[in-house]
């Protein structure tokens, strides 16, 4: 049986990469002997600015368990953990260069240089994004979703507009807030931001809820609105497709490329006014039904049991080298 060490700070939970790792583990556990290094098992210093670094150095000090054939790392910033004598697979869930430049500007360049050097150690680099696969020359292995889990969740919540994500510059929560205010003024629709904890207003409330509750709310929401400046292939889009929730997303290259792969599955917008027009559109029942029907059918291609088979073949190819 193949032995694979999965390395990612999160395993399950709200994180997209954490869910990806957990679903991979669950789908292949009968055929792959997995070892897991995550923050719970390895540990970290729970202090601002030190969580990631402390997790990295704790991993660096650990011995790779016996029986491991392939090290499968899920973040470019952890690529320095690759060791000689093992197969090396790196999965990128967004684009490290773009995200670092958004967060830190010009001072990110030395970090990017270092990460790119370490990433070259990988035998194979995969990405969940069809766009970044083309741009970087990586292998596209799409993001995945456990459709049985989504189907088991009952609808809840109201006919609101949803924002799902962390409060970071890459997700551009301020743009969503502007859209939410316009939607209330022009359409009388309220919004809910799931992730950022800010002061509630007449038009926008803020919550942090379990992932199951996010999906339950999607099943009743008017739409999921994504305002990100940078993305890979978000888990939230797959969850919305599976929940028959319309997706209205900012027109950025990675999401435009995803729409090309899955035509007629979501709506794109440039600015706030165009977002309002798309929100208005999904209020028309026939248009909404057509949109979610296409997405709900195509999301079956990304079921975790199917996508995990691609990883299994990659593991086998790496071991044969």
Q: Give the per-residue pLDDT at 2.
A: 96
What pLDDT digit, counting tens, does each position of 257-307 carry? 999 999 999 999 999 999 999 999 999 999 999 999 999 999 999 999 999
Q: Answer yes or no: do 177 and 297 share one domain.
A: yes
Q: Give the per-residue pLDDT at 47.
A: 81
Full residue range of the structural domain in which residue 258 is found: 147-302
H helix or E strand, kind and range, residue 204: strand 204-207
Q: Answer yes or no: do 210 and 78 share one domain.
A: no
Judge whether 125 and 139 are in contact, CB under 8 Å.
Answer: yes
3-state secondary structure of 50: coil
The pTM of this model reads 0.92
Q: Answer yes or no: do 170 and 297 share one domain.
A: yes
35 has a pLDDT exceeding 90: yes
Closest by Cα among 267, 283, 281 to 226 = 267
Closest by Cα among 225, 196, 301, 234 to 94 = 234
Q: Answer yes or no: do 151 and 186 share one domain.
A: yes
Q: Answer yes or no: do 170 and 292 share one domain.
A: yes
H helix or E strand, kind and range, residue 110: helix 109-119
Q: Give the per-residue pLDDT at 70.
A: 99
Q: Answer yes or no: do 190 and 52 share one domain.
A: no
Q: Answer yes or no: do 97 and 222 share one domain.
A: no
Q: Give the per-residue pLDDT at 102.
A: 81
Judge whether 79 and 59 are in contact, CB under 8 Å.
Answer: no
Q: Answer yes or no: do 66 and 185 share one domain.
A: no
pLDDT band at 12 (very low <50, low <70, confident <90, very high): very high
Q: Answer yes or no: do 158 and 290 share one domain.
A: yes
Contacts of 7 (CB under 8 A, 6+ apart): 37, 38, 59, 71, 72, 73, 74, 78, 81
pLDDT band at 48 (very low <50, low <70, confident <90, very high): confident
266 token code pair:
């979501």
Q: Answer yes or no: do 136 and 74 share one domain.
A: yes
Q: Answer yes or no: do 227 and 298 share one domain.
A: yes
Q: Write the CATH number for 105.
A: 3.40.50.2000
What pLDDT digit, counting tens, does each position of 215-231 carry? 999 999 999 999 999 89
Q: Answer yes or no: do 282 and 312 share one domain.
A: no
Please tell me the total count of domains within the chain: 2
CA distances 284 to 96, 174, 232, 267, Å, are 38, 27, 29, 14
């Amino acid at each position: 049986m193949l032995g694979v060490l999965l390395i990612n700070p999160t395993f399950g939970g709200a994180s997209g990469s954490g869910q990806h790792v957990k679903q991979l583990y669950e789908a292949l556990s009968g055929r792959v002997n997995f070892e897991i290094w995550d923050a719970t098992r390895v540990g970290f210093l729970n202090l601002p600015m030190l969580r990631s670094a402390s997790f990295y150095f704790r991993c660096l000090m650990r011995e790779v368990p016996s029986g491991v054939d392939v090290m499968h790392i899920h973040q470019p910033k952890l690529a320095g953990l690759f060791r000689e004598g093992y197969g090396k697979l790196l999965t990128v869930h967004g684009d490290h260069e773009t995200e670092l430049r958004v967060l830190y500007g010009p001072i990110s360049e030395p970090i990017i240089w270092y990460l790119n050097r370490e990433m070259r150690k990988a035998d194979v680099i995969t990405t969940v994004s069809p766009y970044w696969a083309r741009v970087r020359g990586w292998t596209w292995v799409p993001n995945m979703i456990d459709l049985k889990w989504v189907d088991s969740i009952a609808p809840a919540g109201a006919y609101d507009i949803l924002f799902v994500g962390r409060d970071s510059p890459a997700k551009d929560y301020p743009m969503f807030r502007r859209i939410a205010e316009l939607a209330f003024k022009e359409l009388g629709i309220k919004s809910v931001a799931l992730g950022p904890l800010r002061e509630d207003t007449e038009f926008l409330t803020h919550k942090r809820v379990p992932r199951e509750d996010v999906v339950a709310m999607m099943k009743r929401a008017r739409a999921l609105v994504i305002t990100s400046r940078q993305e890979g292939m978000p888990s939230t889009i797959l969850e919305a497709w599976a929940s028959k929730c319309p997706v209205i997303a900012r027109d950025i290259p990675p999401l435009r490329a995803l729409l090309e792969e899955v035509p007629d599955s979501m709506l794109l917008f440039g600015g706030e006014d165009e977002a309002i027009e798309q929100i208005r559109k999904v209020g028309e029942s026939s248009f909404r039904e057509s949109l979610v029907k296409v997405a709900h059918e195509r999301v079956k291609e990304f079921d975790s049991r199917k996508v995990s088979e691609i990883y299994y073949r990659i593991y086998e190819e790496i071991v044969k080298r």
